[in-house]
Amino acid sequence: MYIWPMAMSKTQPSWTFLSNHGHILVHINRNPDSKVKEIAEAVGITERSALSILSDLETGGYISIERIGRRNSYRVNSNKSFRHPNEAQQPISALLRIFSKK
């Protein structure tokens, strides 16, 4: 698994095509049993930011969170559509398919 560094270096891009919300969605689609710390490290954000984004995604209906013992398991609702009006006719499953290919 690729771990994005917390601070951008001069050789790394200053922006990416996906938001942190998108990166988290892709990550938990691949790794539904990840810990918040693992999610944050994979995306390159703080745990607090990851928790905030997970809350946004859950509130929006894009993910469901199931508590299993002391851990969470995440399930992506891939039938939900994108939020932006230009892409709202497309389900997020289209994006997830791109990144689920190995």
pLDDT of residue 37: 97
Distance CA 6, CA 25 (A): 19
Residues 49, 55: Cα–Cα separation, whole Å: 10
pLDDT in tens, 45-79: 999 999 999 999 999 999 999 999 999 999 999 99
35 in Cβ contact with 1 (< 8 Å): no
The whole-angstrom separation of Cα 75 and Cα 29 is 7
Q: Domain-by-domain residue ranges, the chain? A: 20-100
pLDDT at 4 over 80: no
Residue 44 is classified by DSSP as: T
- Whether pLDDT at 32 is above 60: yes
Residues 6+ apart with CB under 8 A from 51: 36
CATH 1.10.10.10 describes domain 20-100: yes
